[in-house]
Amino acid sequence: MKGEKMRRRDFVKTAAVIAGFPTILVARQPKTFRLALIGCGGRGRGAVRDAFEAAKILGVEVKLVACGDWFRERALRAGKEYGVAPKRCFGGPTAYREVLETEAEIVLIATAPAFHPVFVEAAIKAGKHLFVEKPVAVDPVGCRRVIAAGKEAEQKGLVAIAGTEMRHDFNFRLTHQAVAVEGALGRLYGGRIAFCIGHMFATKPINPKTPDDLVRTWQNWVCLSGDHIVEQHIHNIDVANWFVGRPPVSAVGFGFRARRPAGDQYDFFSVDFDYGDGIHIHSMCRQIDGCWNWVGHDFVYEKGRTNGSDYPKPKNSPIPPDLPRAPSSNVQEQVDLLYHVLKGKPVNELQALAESTATAIMGRISAYTGRMVTWDEIMVDPNKNPALYNLQLKPTPEDFERGTVEIPQENVVPVPGIPAK
Amino acid sequence: MVKDGKLTRRGFVKAATVAALSVPTILVNSQPKTFRVALIGCGGRGRGAVRDIHEAAKLLGVEIRMVAFGDWFRERALAAAKEYGVPPERCFGGPTAYREVLDTDADIVMIAAAHAFHPIFVEAAVKAGKHIFIEKPIAIDPPGCRRALAAAEESERKGLTVVVGTQLRHHWDCILTHQAVAVEGALGRLYAGRVGHCGGHEGSVKPVNPQTADDLIRTWKDWNCLCGERALLGDLIHQIDFACWFVGRPPISAVAFGFRARRPAGDQYDFFSIDYDFGDGVHIHAMCRHINGCWNWVGHDFVYEKGRTNGSDFPKPQNSPIPPDVPRAKSPYVQEQVHLLYSLLKGKPLNQLRNLVLSCAAAVMGRLSAYTGQMVTWDEIMVDPNKNPALYNWQMRPTPEDFERGTVEMPQEGVVPIPGVPAR
């Protein structure tokens, strides 16, 4: 990667001409990017590692200057690894605010999804570039909040990168360009996407008593994770939205909880997404041991099928020639983040991430209720179905911040429809 | 119009001997004005089929004479027979009623019993050389499907007419659209599709608590061993059959999701969502549900190169496959019987049994996939006994033989299969 190392002078030149670009880059060319991490779990710490690897690839340096987590001991542990002073390691529900008050230029956010809208909004308000893990919300209200924050980020010329890995993977980008942009395979007629794997998370009841218990086991709770269709299957739903070129107009979902032993989520969903113009995508996800497993995509075009990454032969590459290719898509995300900051090219991936999150939420609501749910109802028209449009999962992130958390009932899940008469 | 075409016993035997296995024997010697019909399964659908064949006979200018009725419950056979003046000694009850019905001189046997019995009844009817109308589904498990397939092959060899209750195949707009789109290729190539049978709750609204085999039979649509999933084998079978018809072949595999969210009685799921792989990249998403207060849709949506069809909205083939002298009935139920009688009158065997078996096997494949959480293939359940013996030999208990022998164990109410294995 030596040859791809960016020359300082080139960078300065680029950065200086772009008006409205974050001042930190214009005034003095940082050789070292100051990072902060909000959410010090496995994925957050992994993102920091990835950022360090990405910096090496780009020939720049990064420094972790602050860590925040609901649990301060987790922030301290992550901080220790990267030489962050304990006074820069924050805990509790407002840790994110303290992190955002530091001089960090880039904030990596990887917490329970329910908190993402609040944290993303605050980070953009504070003028930080950011990386945020998927999903970016758990309900329609959160999705719209993130879309608004993304607009603000655009105005401020910030770089906002999302953890939807496939959009950063070169083979996906090239295949998307060839097939979805240049039309190499003709028209799209249908498709299937899936994230079907074995059981995930707690294997016996959690019996949470406090908000801490919930946050510690957040992957098991709808109010914090959004259910596995939102938390995990969003990857494939995002690829579908990307290849079709828009979010679906409606969803009809089937799902239930067959054998989850803990928490309050379903363990399978099977959703028909209607993208309009006759295009339907069948989305399936499952987290049950001993079942058929498939994680992938199958898009049916006029002249052939693609799994989204097997046709990397566009006429024109959408990838800048000087963007280094990383060994993994997680590192690629951070390369993209640092590259855009270095280049002074604002990018807003929040809109697409929020739309994919909302798509997954639409499927979840349809399965929970048994109803067809439309994009208009949850995202566009406040009057069409106010209950869905204003849906906010409780306890809300604000409940967690205020300490007004009611513990959800374990092993109780939504039952579609109404009882037989 | 034919005048006295009633076939005597003697004439029939002779005809059967002479015509061997080719054309339906009753038509060879004399043009029958009257068809002798018997019914096995005297519930609502069975009695309805009898009404329909009478109406069909009127349209064709022939006559129907009911000669026997059979049902698990003899009083039902008696009640159904009364309307048609069939004497009580021709009304049979109990688990072997079908055999007594088949011993009569009926030319046509109509079968509309609990699904689980259909393979046995149809096998016996074919053996007895009867022309048949049989309701869907033909079987609810792989052994039943293969048994019915063998019966289908025998019925083809014997030149019998077998019309099945997948009514959409008798609906003219569907027949014409199928011809235009699937045969003549008016919309180009097929790429994908969806079919659905999503409606409100059906069946008992409180636990049945069955104590006897009679209790089970009386409420058979609530029980997996008799009905084989009423949302899937009972309802969605129409749409699965339709998809097989339009694609032109049965699927090679199924990946299904399903469960029981709020059925209050019996031991069946209340929804399924199935990805059928028909090969060549063609997948059809099939969905069904029996839950009140949900999104409902019964229909088809096939995505072709040049447009979509619901299977009945493009009745514009270049060549109609419907003979010009077939009368059009006002309902597909009557149309089924028109096609049956027309086939016999013309001496042109019409045999839909094989297609019904294949569609039922597709439905069973989806059912097993949902129960197990596994992908289930056509080869596993229908072709290769060694690939997955557990699936190949999978039979619901109690079996129809258990009912006949009186060795019925009561199924547990409210207990359903759970896919996969527990989390470790």
Is A305 within 8 Å of chain B by CB? yes
For domain A183-315+353-402, give the fold. Answer: Dihydrodipicolinate Reductase; domain 2 (3.30.360)
Q: Any CB–CB contact under 8 A between A255 and chain B?
A: yes
* Helix/strand/coil (H/E/C) assignment for every residue in A184-250: CCCCEEEEEEEEEECCCCCCCCCCCCCHHHHHHCHHHCHHHHCCHHHHCCHHHHHHHHHHHCCCCCE
Cα A390 → chain centroid: 21
The CB density around residue A87, as the number of other CB atoms within 10 Å, is 9
Which among A278, A305, A421 is the nearest to B281, CB-wise?
A: A305
Give yes or no for A300 touching B (CB within 8 A): yes
Count of other CB atoms within 10 angstroms of residue A212 = 12
**B409 min Cα distance to partner chain A (Å):** 26
According to DSSP, the residues that pair with A75 across neighbouring strands are none
Residue B234 to residue B215: CA distance in whole angstroms: 20
Kind and range of the H or E element at A355?
A: helix A350-369
Nearest chain A residue (CA) to B282: A300
Whether residue B93 contacts residue B72, with contact meaning beta carbons closer than 8 Å, is answered with yes
pLDDT-based confidence at A421, cuts 50/70/90?
A: confident
pLDDT in tens, A130-179: 999 999 999 999 999 999 999 999 999 999 999 999 999 999 999 999 99
User: pLDDT tens-digit profile of A258-280?
Assistant: 999 999 999 999 999 999 999 99
Residues of B in contact with A416 (CB under 8 A): 261-262, 271, 291, 294
Using a CB-CB cut-off of 8 Å, the residues of chain B touching A291 are 372-374, 419-420
Compare CB distances from A289 to B205, B291, B424 and report the shortest one's residue.
B424
CATH of B9-169+327-351, one of 3.40.47.10, 3.50.50.60, 3.40.50.720, 3.30.360.10: 3.40.50.720
Rounded to a whole number of angstroms, the distance from the CA of A214 to the nearest CA of chain B is 20
pLDDT category at A398 given cuts 50, 70, 90 is very high
Order of strands across the sheet that contains A188-197: A304-306, A294-301, A188-197, A280-287, A268-274, A250-256, A372-374
- Write the DSSP assignment of A104-131 as a string of letters: -SEEEE-S-GGGHHHHHHHHHHTT-EEE
User: Which member of B191, B295, B423 has the closest CB to residue A259?
Assistant: B423
CB within 8 Å: B374 and A419: no
Which of A280, A288, A372 is the closest to B194 by Cβ? Answer: A280
- Write the pLDDT tens digit of every residue in A44-97: 999 999 999 999 999 999 999 999 999 999 999 999 999 999 999 999 999 999
Mark yes or no for CB contact A286/B257 under 8 Å: yes
Residue A19, pLDDT > 90, answer no
Long-range (24+ apart) CB contacts under 8 A made by B405-413 are: B406/B95, B406/B213, B408/B213, B408/B216, B410/B210, B410/B211, B410/B216, B411/B210, B411/B216, B411/B223, B411/B224, B411/B225, B411/B267, B412/B267, B413/B207, B413/B208, B413/B209, B413/B210, B413/B265, B413/B266, B413/B267
Cα–Cα distance list, B208 to A419, B225, B227, B229 (Å): 17, 15, 15, 16
Instruction: Answer whether B287 sits within 8 Å of A372, measured CB to CB.
Output: no
In chain B, domain spans: 9-169+327-351, 174-321+357-405
Question: Given CA atoms B361, B363, B367, B373 in this order, what sign does their dihedral have?
Answer: positive
- Interface check A421 vs B, CB under 8 A: yes
Tell me how close the Cα of A197 comes to any Cα of chain B, in angstroms.
11
Quick one: closest CA in B to A190, which residue? B192
Contact B421 A278 (CB under 8 A): no
Rounded Cα distance between B368 and B383, Å, is 16
Which of B262, B292, B423 shows the shortest C-beta gap to A199? B423
Q: What mean pLDDT do residues A371-391 have?
A: 98
User: Which amino acid appears at position A127 of this protein?
Assistant: G
Å between A120 CA and nearest CA of chain B: 35
**For chain A, how big is the Rg over CA atoms in Å?**
21
Reading the block at residue A315, the tokens are 């006429």
Letter string b/e over residues A181-201, b meaning 16 or more CB atoms within 10 A of that residue's CB: eeebbeebbbbbbbbbbebbb
In this prediction, residue A23 carries a pLDDT of 36
Contact B347, B205 (CB under 8 A): no
**Nearest CA to A394 among A147, A142, A161, A153?**
A142
What pLDDT score was predicted for residue A29? 57
Amino acid sitting at position B224: N
CA A402, CA A383: separation in Å to the nearest integer? 30
Check CB contact under 8 Å for A419 and B418. Answer: no
Pairing of strands B376-377, B253-259: antiparallel
- Chain A CA closest to residue B271: A254
- Token readout for A203 is 């294997």
**Residues of chain A contacting residue B292, judged by C-beta atoms under 8 Å apart:** 417-421
CATH 3.40.50.970 applies to domain A2-167+326-349? no
Q: For chain B, 424 residues long, give each residue's pLDDT as a single digit of tens.
A: 233 333 333 333 333 333 333 333 344 445 558 999 999 999 999 999 999 999 999 999 999 999 999 999 999 999 999 999 999 999 999 999 999 999 999 999 999 999 999 999 999 999 999 999 999 999 999 999 999 999 999 999 999 999 999 999 999 999 999 999 999 999 999 999 999 999 999 999 999 999 999 999 999 999 999 999 999 999 999 999 999 999 999 999 999 999 999 999 999 999 999 999 999 999 999 999 999 999 999 999 999 999 999 999 999 999 999 999 999 999 999 999 999 999 999 999 999 999 999 999 999 999 999 999 999 999 999 999 999 999 999 999 999 999 999 999 999 999 999 999 999 8
**Cβ-Cβ contacts under 8 Å, B271 against chain A:** 254, 256, 416
Q: Residue A35: which of A98, A88, A96, A106 has the closest Cα? A: A106
- The yes-or-no verdict on residue A124 having pLDDT over 70 is yes
B47 vs B40: CA distance, rounded Å: 10
B155 closest CA partner among B202, B185, B183, B119: B119
Q: What pLDDT band is residue A336 in, cutting at 50, 70 and 90?
A: very high
Interface probe for B, chosen from A292, A298, A372, A418 (most Cβ of B below 10 Å), is A292
Rounded to two decimals, the pTM is: 0.92
Look at the block and give the residue holding tokens 């009057």. A383
Q: For domain B174-321+357-405, say whether CATH 3.90.550.10 is its number.
A: no
Lowest mean pLDDT among A98-102, A384-388, B29-33, B61-65: B29-33
Provide the CA A362 distance to its chain's centre, in angstroms: 16
**A207, amino acid identity:** N
Read off the tokens for A108. Answer: 């990596």
List the one residue out of A407, A362, A355, A393 whose CA is nearest residue A255: A362
Backbone angles phi, psi at A399, to 5 degrees: -60, -40
Tokens in use for A311?
A: 């046709």
Answer yes or no: do A417 and B308 touch at CB < 8 A.
no
Judge: B192–A300 Cβ closer than 8 Å, yes or no: yes
| Pairs of CB atoms within 8 A across A/B | 139
Q: How far is CA B36 from CA A18, A233, A308, B99, in A?
A: 91, 60, 61, 17
Enumerate the domain spans of chain A.
2-167+326-349, 183-315+353-402
Option in B301, B375, B424 nearest A292 (CB): B375
Nearest CA in chain B to A286: B257
Would you say B289 and B273 are in contact if contact means Cβ atoms under 8 Å apart? no
pLDDT recorded at residue B424: 86
Q: What DSSP letter does each residue of B297-364 carry, written as one string?
A: EEEEEEEETTEEE-SSS----SS--S-TTSPPPSSHHHHHHHHHHHHHHHT---B-HHHHHHHHHHHH
The answer to whether the CB atoms of B283 and A189 lie below 8 A apart is no
Q: Does A412 reach chain B within 8 Å, measured CB to CB? A: no
Structure tokens at B319: 């060549």
Closest Cβ opposite residue A292 in set B192, B373, B422? B373
Of B285, B420, B421, the CB nearest to A272: B285
Pairwise CB contact (< 8 Å): A370 & B263: no
Q: Centre a 10 Å sphere on the Cβ of residue A94 and count the other Cβ atoms it contains.
A: 11
Residue type, A300: V
Which helix H or strand E contains A54, and what residues bound it?
Answer: helix A42-58
Distance separating alpha carbons of residues A84 and A95, to the nearest angstrom: 15
pLDDT at B31: 57
> Which residue in the set A252, A261, A291 is minimally distant from B420, CB to CB?
A291
Residues 170-229 of A with CB under 8 A from B: 189-192, 199, 203
